[in-house]
Amino acid sequence: MRSQPFRKILIANRGEIACRILRTLKTSGVASVAIHHAVEDRSPHVGQADEAVEIFGDTPVAAHLDVEQIVAAAQGAGADAIHPGYGFLSENARFAAAVEAAGLVFVGPDAETIALMGDKISARNFARAQGVPVAPSVTPTGDLSSFLAAAETIGFPLLIKAAAGGGGKGMSVVRSASELRSAARIAASEAERYFGDGRIYAETYVERPRHIEVQIAGDGDGQALHLYERECSVQRRFQKIIEEAPAAALAPALRDDICAAAARLASAAHYRNLGTVEFIVAADGRFFFLEMNTRLQVEHPVTEMITGLDLVRLQLEIAAGFGLAGVPRPLPRRGHAIECRVCAEDPERDFLPETGTLAVLEIPSAPWLRFENALAPGQRIGTEFDPMLAKLVVHGDTREQAVERALQALDQLALLGVRTNIDYLARVLDHPGFRAGELHTGFLQEHAAALQPKALDAAATDAAVIAAALGFRNFRNVVFDVPEPYASIGAWRN
Amino acid sequence: MGFTLHLDGAAHEIEILARRPHLRLRVDGRDYEITSAGEEDDGRQHVEIDAKPHRFVRAHVGNRQILRMQGRTFEAELLDPRDAARAGGTDLGCLRAPIPCSVVEVHKRPGEAVTRGETLVTIESMKLQIALLAPRDGTLAKAPRSAGETFEKDAIVAELEPLPKA
């Protein structure tokens, strides 16, 4: 192991997470290399990096998934390590192996651990062997009829998932034996289509489950710590939109059990670097291992806000061979943090992705606020990348204060030109069930009607109509067709 | 002279009642006095309606306007009275692409009768499949020729025959 700080790091990513990593590289005095496809050569991450290398591909995403090209870019730039961020190649074992084979350091776990945890079935078997609770399940044999028979013995409801899956693809809830056969067929064909691996498995479906995950850090030699939990129960289409730390209204003994199970798993895996162990938590306090993410999470800032840690810096320290010395023990836990994912999507139309051009960007500022983004006015928001535009992260002394601050920040945030979920996020935070911490992964569906936009009273609607009308040139031309009133109602521009 | 302004798709009628000493407007039959309006130093807009100040942010996108005001986002469009005079029926027979997409399956052919809620075309965008449903009963006038055809956002994917005039 090297035990020597890095001089130059290539960031194999883009968008807000590339900018986030760049920030830590700058404060740590490490030189940075960005990569970019031609469509993003004016993106903020390119301008903020010390160097930038163009990558090529049929599509921008294909370029960001090109292992050989990215490793060659790092070598060509003289980088000594690659930080993969999240998404793209961050959980690709072949990439991690190729980086190490090229004599560079991969900022993350080794390829074997990524492969072990990347397969849901091997990950579950490993967790079960370490005494971490796993939901009763059926592993497929490739034979549909024996799979169906075994699935029936677990009982209903069942959750069917792709073995290689993620992001909700190939996932469905089956409530009776009569639905099982067709659901299994559909899941297998979706799994084949999205992941090139048609294996599926079925497990006990927990009603109204909470999604609670634990941030862990390991030194690769069997020492591992947990850095507390995050609650990620507020999801649409099986994807998180609001995360918080600590989890709301979680019994302290249960929290300790969950966190200890995660640290035990990481320690047994001789886990190196940061990772996240995800659990499903039932209303009765049972909890089950869901999966392990072998990378930095999108929602890592909420952990940073309550612990004061810089998790990217910790990743670099571990990768450089300094172990877990950067984690104070006991690790402080201060207040409450909430992250809202601002997405280009239309909540009123089933969260369909939206496109447009960012005409106006107004970001609120406060010492308790982080707005993680890579946005610039004039930027085109297309569909070539993920619809997440930015993350609004706030901290408060209490959960109530954090909710109020998030609402205040969302109110001040203006991101005009593409439809976003900003107003929807505010309605979720303001919902009595959210405020009470009565969360589960079906929260948004359960309260769908209450989360619709509220009708405005006539005066509020009329105020918006007047404000809009005065912004239209045709209307102003008629208002001002006599000169006198110009002076009487003040200065007009535009 | 009256204007029609569409706010989030709903039509509102605006009349100018007076220009002096202050601008007075009638919106859907309710009267308001606008005592001041303009841009502030921080780039935000303000308007004072019946002595109540409002602050907001505005963006012009094409001929639409987007406002962020009262913690909400509004989309507004001003109908020019000259255009309104020309405009005929509604758009209820048109199925537009909600996002840039390609056609996965065409379920109905032009000339076929369709009932409200029936799937006419399945489209796909970013691995997400979306069914485009018939907005009303009628006869299909236009549909994509085959799977694989691509559409830009807001392009008309399928169209029903216009309803006979009552």
CA A378 to chain B, closest CA, distance in angstroms equals: 11
Determine the pLDDT at residue A141: 62
Dmax (CA) for chain B in angstroms is 62
How far is the CA of B80 from the CAs of A39, A472, B5, in angstroms? 37, 10, 9
Closest CA to A326 of A306, A302, A307, A305: A307
| Rounded average pLDDT over A337-342 | 98
Cβ separation A462–B12 shorter than 8 A: yes
Determine how many CB atoms are found less than 10 A away from the CB of residue A224: 23
Cβ separation A475–B59 shorter than 8 A: no
Pairing of the two strands A81-83 and B30-39: unpaired
The phi and psi torsions of A256 (rounded to 5 degrees) equal -60, -40
Determine the pLDDT at residue B81: 62
Q: Name the average pLDDT for chain B.
A: 84
Cβ separation B35–A417 shorter than 8 A: no
Determine how many CB atoms are found less than 10 A away from the CB of residue A187: 25
> Three-class SS of residue A328?
coil
Query: For residue A330, is the peptide bond before it cis, meaning its omega torsion is within 30 degrees of 0?
Result: yes
Interface test with chain B among A349, A462, A482, by most B beta carbons within 10 Å: A462
| Amino acid sitting at position A96 | A
CA A289 to chain B, closest CA, distance in angstroms equals: 28
Q: How confident is the model at residue B91 (pLDDT cuts 50, 70, 90)?
A: low
Residue with the bigger pLDDT between B110 and A103: it is A103
Q: How confident is the model at residue B94 (pLDDT cuts 50, 70, 90)?
A: confident
A424 → chain B, closest CA residue: B72
Please report residues of B whose CB lies closer than 8 A to that of A169. 127
Helix (H) or strand (E) holding A303: helix A300-307
How far apart, in whole angstroms, are the C-alpha atoms of residue A289 and residue A430? 31
Residues facing residue B79 across a β-bridge = B4
The model's pLDDT over A368-419, given as tens digits with 9 standing for 90+, comes to 999 999 998 888 898 888 899 999 999 999 999 999 999 999 999 999 989 9
Residue-level length of chain A? 494
Contact between B117 and B123 (Cβ < 8 Å) = no
**pLDDT at residue A165 tops 70:** no
CB nearest to B78's CB, from A352, A383, A472: A472
Residue matched to tokens 């862990």: A216
Protein fold of A8-107 = Rossmann fold (3.40.50)
| Rounded average pLDDT over A255-284 | 97
The model's pLDDT over A33-75, given as tens digits with 9 standing for 90+, comes to 999 999 888 899 999 999 999 999 999 999 999 999 999 999 9
B14 lies within 8 A of chain A by CB? yes
Window 111-140 of B, Cβ < 8 Å to A: 125-128, 130
| Rounded average pLDDT over A178-183 | 88
Residue with the bigger pLDDT between A63 and A485: it is A63
Determine the pLDDT at residue B86: 44
Comma-separated ranges of CATH 3.30.1490.20 domains in chain A: 136-204
Contact between A251 and A456 (Cβ < 8 Å) = no
Interface test with chain A among B68, B133, B153, by most A beta carbons within 10 Å: B68
The model carries a pTM of 0.80
Q: How confident is the model at residue B84 (pLDDT cuts 50, 70, 90)?
A: very low
Cβ separation A469–B5 shorter than 8 A: yes
Interface test with chain A among B6, B26, B34, by most A beta carbons within 10 Å: B34
Determine the pLDDT at residue A166: 63
B156 lies within 8 A of chain A by CB? no
How many interchain CB pairs under 8 A, A with B?
Answer: 168
How far apart, in whole angstroms, are the C-alpha atoms of residue B64 and residue A172? 40
Give the N- to C-terminal CA distance of chain B in Å, as an integer: 30
The model's pLDDT over A84-141, given as tens digits with 9 standing for 90+, comes to 999 999 999 999 999 999 999 999 999 999 999 999 889 999 999 999 999 888 876 6
**DSSP classification of residue A437:** T
Please report residues of B whose CB lies closer than 8 A to that of A458. 28, 30
CA B51 to chain A, closest CA, distance in angstroms equals: 12
Cβ separation A490–B130 shorter than 8 A: no
Determine the pLDDT at residue A199: 84
As annotated, the active-site residues of A are 295
Q: How confident is the model at residue A264 (pLDDT cuts 50, 70, 90)?
A: very high
Determine the pLDDT at residue A41: 83
How far is the CA of B129 from the CAs of A46, A169, A352, B103, in angstroms? 33, 12, 10, 9
How far apart, in whole angstroms, are the C-alpha atoms of residue B4 and residue B14? 6
Residues facing residue B64 across a β-bridge = B61, B77
Domain covering A136-204 in this structure, CATH number: 3.30.1490.20
The model's pLDDT over A436-447, given as tens digits with 9 standing for 90+, comes to 999 999 999 999
Cβ separation A453–B72 shorter than 8 A: yes
Note the helical H segments in A308-356. Answer: 311-319
Lowest mean pLDDT across A192-206, B74-88, B146-160: B74-88
The model's pLDDT over B64-79, given as tens digits with 9 standing for 90+, comes to 899 999 889 999 999 8
Cβ separation A489–B37 shorter than 8 A: yes
Comma-separated ranges of CATH 3.40.50.20 domains in chain A: 8-107
Determine the pLDDT at residue B96: 81
Protein fold of A210-446 = D-amino Acid Aminotransferase; Chain A, domain 1 (3.30.470)
